[in-house]
Chain A
Amino acid sequence: MNIARDQKQILLIGFQNTTNWLSEVSGRIASLMILGAVLLTCQMIFVRFVLNASTVWQTEIVVYLMVGATLLGLAFVQKHKGHVNVDLLPIWLNYRSARILAIFTGLTAITVTAVCLFYGFEFWHLVHKRGWTSDTVTAVPLWIPYLSLPIGLGLLLLQLIADWLETLLQQISKAGM
């Protein structure tokens, strides 16, 4: 009995640590992508203004870097509780009800993210299968930027689940005492 419980505990901690690590790594990648977008935009201005040469591909790549950074950064921001929220109801409720509400909103967030992830993956898969490209001279294979949808939403889902388990466990241990 006890051993089984311990194993569960270890699994849970393992899951949470892995998720946290993934979120940190994706946050770093997102930061680097934003930095890359800054430098690439400056390169574009230099090429156009100083060299008076063509800048065909830069804007597109910069936009994809930004979209990618945003989606990859979702889990990182979630981990650091950086997604702004309005906690009027939880403040107004008593402690117990607020916890229950938190568990419920957590579950809602997980569900909605899972739905987005499901259709996001489906969409990415379609783009990949059909070999769609952007309608520009660069003709970027769209599955590359769209890959940030399933990856970013997937990582966000993991982080939401980890956070939710945390809330749930706190609630259970409080109730147990």
Chain B
Amino acid sequence: MSRLKVASCFLAMTAIELPAAHKPPLQRAPIEAMSRANPFEARPPQEQSAADQAGHKLFERECSGCHGKQAQGSAWAPALASPVVKQAPAGAIFWVLRNGSLRSGMPSFAHLPEPQRWQIVTYLKNLK
């Protein structure tokens, strides 16, 4: 493959990602990503509670540096204890965790295994 073709591929991939970039991260999730169900929601209540606690632990370690210990937000990151997150589809939150929002400064958390990301989603959906 010529260098021109490789460069064209990169440009095309970047261009595909640009149009949705101005929307808030939760609204950028594709429909198929939004429709993904949280696997912990189908589990017995005891396991759901354990996922919530594990999600809290992971949130404190991975997210609270920017979003605050109580998910109240900070000068540089939005509050996650909010109706917007509460009402968002679990799949949309999971999608944002996977992809991040590089332009607004949120990194991707794809390095966390999927079950850990779903545990964080469980915690965020249960936040009061």
Does B associate with A?
Answer: no
Interface positions of B (Cβ within 8 A of A): none
